[in-house]
């Protein structure tokens, strides 16, 4: 989980009451730490939020860009109905192998699959599996604008598109950081999410901020 996620007593109450990880997700996170995966996954609040979105929208096909150790994917795959499918795209073979093992251990191998490689190389091969009902972008920030274009191409009316880390740890609007490619990418992504006439969008201020748009 992100180091950004320092909780107030109230936030800790909410986590304990509404959003607690179960033993399977706790084990996933503990083993991710033991195997040296970076602690940059979403938190349980966001996982639960993704579950609520999947269930309220009736999503059956989900695409995730950036799996890390499979934590967010596990939350989402658990919310899918029988026959539902999550496809995760992940750059690092080590992360993908860990994710596969964890999803299998959680009983999700029948509905969640990870594909290895740069997402921009993998995305063109997904045309036959589109449209997706929910697309969660959580990978390299400089490519977020391109991921949004692919997400829109692979959407239909009602598809929910999400991008994590809009705040960039509070640096998004810092005038001294605007030369950073990740911040430039995130700004272009946020501006496109806000202005694209195909979307109705907002930002949910969980943790580092999640941009969320619904395709009209």
Ligand X SMILES: C[S@@+](CC[C@H](N)C(=O)[O-])C[C@H]1O[C@@H](n2cnc3c(N)ncnc32)[C@H](O)[C@@H]1O
Angle at 214 between CA 208 and CA 216, to 5 degrees: 155
**CA torsion sign, 188 to 200 to 49 to 116?**
negative
How far apart are the C-alpha atoms of 1 and 142, rounded to whole Å? 21
> Would strands 160-164 and 112-116 be described as parallel, antiparallel, or unpaired?
unpaired
Token pair belonging to 167: 């705040």
Binding mask 49-88 for ligand X (x = CB under 6 A): -----------------xxx--xx----------------
Residue choice 25, 89, 148, 190 for contact with ligand X (CB under 6 A)? 89
Q: Which residue is nearest to ligand X (CB)?
A: 66
Binding mask 10-29 for ligand X (x = CB under 6 A): --------------------
Residue choice 5, 29, 41, 167 for contact with ligand X (CB under 6 A)? 41
Count CB neighbours of 48 within 10 A: 19
Region of 6-14, 34-42, 76-84, 206-214 interacting with ligand X (CB under 6 A): 34-42
Residue choice 63, 77, 91, 192 for contact with ligand X (CB under 6 A)? 91
């Amino acid at each position: 989980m992100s180091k950004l996620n320092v909780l107030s007593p109230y936030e800790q109450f909410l986590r304990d009451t509404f959003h607690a990880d179960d033993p399977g997700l706790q084990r996933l996170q503990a083993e991710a730490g033991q195997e040296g995966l970076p602690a940059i996954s979403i938190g349980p609040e966001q996982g639960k939020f993704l579950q609520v979105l999947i269930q309220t929208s009736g999503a059956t096909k989900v695409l995730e860009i950036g799996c890390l150790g499979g934590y967010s994917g596990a939350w989402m795959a658990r919310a899918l109905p029988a026959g539902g499918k999550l496809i995760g795209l992940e750059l690092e073979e080590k992360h993908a192998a860990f994710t596969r093992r964890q999803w299998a251990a959680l009983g999700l191998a029948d509905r969640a699959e990870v594909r290895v490689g740069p997402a921009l190389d993998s995305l063109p091969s997904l045309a036959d599996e589109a449209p997706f009902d929910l697309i969660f972008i959580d990978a390299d920030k400089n490519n977020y604008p391109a991921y949004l274009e692919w997400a829109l191409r692979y959407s239909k009316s009602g598809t929910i598109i999400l991008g994590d880390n809009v705040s960039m740890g509070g640096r998004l609007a810092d005038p001294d950081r605007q030369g950073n490619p990740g911040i430039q990418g995130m700004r272009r992504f946020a501006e496109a999410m806000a202005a694209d006439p195909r979307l109705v969008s907002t930002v949910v201020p969980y943790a580092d901020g999640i941009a969320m748009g619904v395709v009209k």
